[in-house]
């Protein structure tokens, strides 16, 4: 049976519950996912004076074909985008600057060092997002940056964040869509601190200096990202969830929730409704933690579906900025992007095909029997037929056919690097 015929049959099943599948597909076409560039080169970046990974970040595996220069990375991203339905965005870190062989310290970066990325984004019709890189650097070697007791080191990182926000603003002006510039720092202590307040006071003062330099929100949106612990900061992280949640609310910044940055029993899906009540926008880094912040490739698991449900149920597709953050060097990197991003889009489609308003009504009426029964039955509704059709109309491979394209690309391009 053809993809279109399967789709028409599936539509009828959903229509019985008032779900307009055609309208869902049209809406989904306009939901961008911010795809992280660093999956393609294992977070190495292109600095002339490259440094070892630090800040509790590690990438395991040695699968062949890692991108070693900007042209290779952009080529790999293009291949992944050709296999993912929808029009999306690309998320950059400061270490992906192109300086033409010149050593440019991070506090001296300028928009011109990202001109190639902007020109490429224009050609591809993509928006760009940005992150200052406060790890993998000698001035972050002891695990402290914006909260460092040494004022000179603090100022270095403050200035790096200031120029990064200017670069994000440049992206927004050039591409006609605001960049999300997100600040994450590794600061913390391995063992139990004797003073939790002072480092957090320093972090607050540093952030105040960073945001005192104005950027136009029409072009740049500021976000801050928390973490519960990391390698080298097992006992104490300066930028905790409580710290950044309060800072963001008081200073009108976005609070970014990374799905791997909480205790294993916490779920980001459960936080979204509370966040949306008090914040106009919320930002996400969707990852897959396996026992800790391990940044595995996103799969279509229960939590991913629940995150999508919370976004859709709360009519927040235009209020939640969805980005991805995973890195795996043990598998084909283009495949990793494709798997993870397709799964994020799948989860949104899955949630949009649910009779969410009716289920809300059942809950309000206290009809928990019908609520549970229908939610469970919908798990085996013909979602796959809708997904196949969406891929087909968006001009990307249906089902696992994309894998053959990745294998061909690996044989013709990746293995020759």
Is 184 considered catalytic here?
A: yes
Is 263 noted as a catalytic residue in this protein? no
Residues contacting residue 76 through CB under 8 Å, at least 6 positions apart: 40, 67, 333, 334, 337, 414
Distances, alpha carbon 50 to alpha carbons 40, 67, 153, 187, 397, in Å: 16, 15, 19, 21, 37
- Active-site entry in 47, 174, 187, 293: 293
Active-site entry in 184, 337, 387, 402? 184
Q: Pull the structure tokens for residue 147.
A: 């909260």
Spatial separation of the C-alpha atoms in residues 289 and 261, rounded to whole Å: 8
CA distance 67 to 95: 14
395 Cβ contact list (under 8 Å, min separation 6): none
Residue 254 in contact with residue 321, Cβ under 8 Å?
yes
Whether 217 and 168 have beta carbons less than 8 Å apart is answered as: no
Collapse the DSSP code of 4 into the 3-class scheme (helix H, G, I; strand E, B; otherwise coil) and give the result: helix
Q: Is 302 a catalytic residue?
A: no
Q: Which of 185, 170, 172, 90 minimizes the C-alpha distance to 132?
A: 185
Q: Is 266 a catalytic residue?
A: no
Instruction: Pull the structure tokens for residue 8.
Output: 């028409």
Instruction: Determine contact, residues 300/339, Cβ cutoff 8 Å.
Output: no
Name the active-site residue from 169, 325, 328, 388.
325
Contact 300, 346 (CB under 8 A): yes
252 an active-site residue?
no
For tokens 């004022």, what's the residue?
151
Backbone angles phi, psi at 19, to 5 degrees: -90, 115
Which of 225, 306, 388, 410 is catalytic? The answer is: 225
Please indicate whether residue 225 is annotated as part of the active site.
yes
Select from 288, 239, 281 the least CA-distant residue to 267: 288
Q: Would you say 324 and 35 are in contact if contact means Cβ atoms under 8 Å apart?
A: yes
| DSSP E strand stretches across 94-215 | 127-131, 179-183, 188-189
> Is residue 318 flagged as an active site residue?
no
> Is 402 designated active site?
no
Rg (CA), the chain: 22
Rounded distance between C-alpha atoms, residue 8 and residue 19, angstroms:
13
Active site residue 328: no
Nearest CA to 335 out of 284, 285, 409 is that of 409
Q: Are 301 and 288 in contact (CB under 8 A)?
A: yes
> Catalytic residues, which ones?
184, 225, 227, 258, 261, 285, 293, 295, 325
């Amino acid at each position: 049976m053809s993809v279109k015929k399967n789709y028409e049959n599936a539509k009828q099943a959903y229509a019985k519950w008032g779900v307009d599948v055609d309208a869902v597909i049209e809406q989904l076409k306009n939901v961008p996912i911010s795809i992280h560039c660093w999956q393609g080169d294992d977070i190495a970046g292109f600095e002339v004076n490259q440094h070892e990974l630090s800040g509790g970040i590690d990438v395991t595996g040695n699968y062949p074909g890692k991108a070693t220069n900007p042209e290779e990375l952009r080529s790999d991203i293009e291949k992944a985008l050709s296999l993912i339905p929808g029009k999306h965005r690309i998320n950059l870190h400061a270490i992906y600057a192109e300086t033409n062989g010149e050593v440019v310290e991070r506090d001296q970066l300028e928009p011109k060092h990202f001109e190639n990325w902007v020109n490429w984004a224009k050609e591809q019709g993509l928006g760009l997002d940005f992150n200052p890189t406060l790890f993998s650097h000698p001035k972050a070697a002891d695990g402290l940056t914006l909260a460092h007791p040494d004022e000179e080191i603090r100022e270095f990182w403050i200035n790096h964040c200031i120029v990064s926000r200017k670069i994000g603003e440049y992206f927004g002006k050039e591409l006609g869509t605001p960049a999300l510039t997100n600040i994450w720092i590794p600061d913390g202590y391995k063992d139990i601190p004797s003073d939790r307040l002072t480092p957090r006071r320093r972090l607050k003062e540093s952030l105040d200096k960073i945001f005192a330099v104005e950027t136009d929100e029409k072009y740049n949106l500021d976000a801050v990202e928390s973490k519960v612990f990391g390698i080298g900061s097992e006992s104490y992280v300066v930028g905790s969830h409580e710290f950044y949640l309060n800072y963001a609310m008081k200073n009108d910044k976005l609070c970014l929730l990374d799905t791997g940055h909480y205790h294993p029993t916490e779920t980001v899906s459960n936080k979204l409704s509370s966040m949306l009540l008090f914040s106009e926008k919320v930002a996400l880094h969707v990852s897959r933690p396996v026992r800790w912040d391990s940044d595995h490739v996103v799969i279509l698991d229960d939590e991913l579906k629940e995150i999508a449900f919370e976004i859709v149920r709360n009519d927040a597709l235009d209020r939640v900025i969805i980005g991805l953050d995973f890195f795996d060097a043990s598998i084909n990197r283009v495949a990793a992007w494709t798997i993870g991003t397709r799964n994020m889009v799948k989860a949104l489609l899955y949630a949009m095909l649910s009779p969410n308003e009716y289920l809300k009504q059942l809950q309000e009426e206290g009809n928990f029997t019908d609520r549970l029964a229908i939610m469970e039955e919908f798990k085996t509704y013909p979602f796959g037929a809708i997904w196949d059709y969406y891929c087909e109309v968006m001009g990307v491979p249906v089902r696992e056919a994309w894998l053959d394209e990745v294998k061909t690309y690996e044989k013709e391009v990746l293995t020759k690097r």
